[in-house]
Amino acid sequence: MVSKAYAPLLLGTGLFLSGIAAAQDTADTIYMGGSILTINDAQPTAEAVAVKDGQILAVGDLADVTSFQTDATQLIDLEGRALLPGFVDSHGHVVMGGIQALSANLLAPPDGKVTDIASL
């Protein structure tokens, strides 16, 4: 039998732990139903992705990710399509933009305005 001295401690611990469980983030959107490529060697593919405020909350099995679901969560079925991480091109030739400004722009749209011989 639990001593009366420990009862408040046990009650407090229980309330604290229930508060932590209730404070789990919930997803705004869950993507599922397609090939989800993670670009992570430890987990190259996943079944679902949970997102909140533009930040990824969880990536993994559908059962794990749907633990972040509420009635307000938007579920997006990829219908077999692929979901890839955002790619950022951090490589550019900035100098070429300056050189191009000093010469005739003979590029086709969208880089230039040449659409036919007459517009040269």
Indicate the number of domains in the chain. Answer: 1
Instruction: Render each residue's pLDDT in the chain as its tens digit; 120 residues.
Output: 556 665 555 555 554 554 444 457 899 999 999 999 998 999 999 999 999 999 999 999 999 999 999 999 999 999 999 999 887 777 777 787 777 778 777 777 887 787 777 776
Question: Is 93 within a domain?
Answer: yes
| CA-wise closest residue to 83 among 39, 27, 53, 25 | 39
What is the distance between the alpha carbons of residues 115 and 108, in angstroms, rounded to a whole number? Answer: 6
Cβ-contact 48, 3 below 8 angstroms: no
Question: Is 59 within a domain?
Answer: yes
Question: Domain range for residue 89?
Answer: 25-119
Q: Whole-prediction pTM value?
A: 0.57
What is the distance between the alpha carbons of residues 22 and 120, in angstroms, rounded to a whole number? Answer: 66
CATH number of the domain bearing residue 30: 2.30.40.10
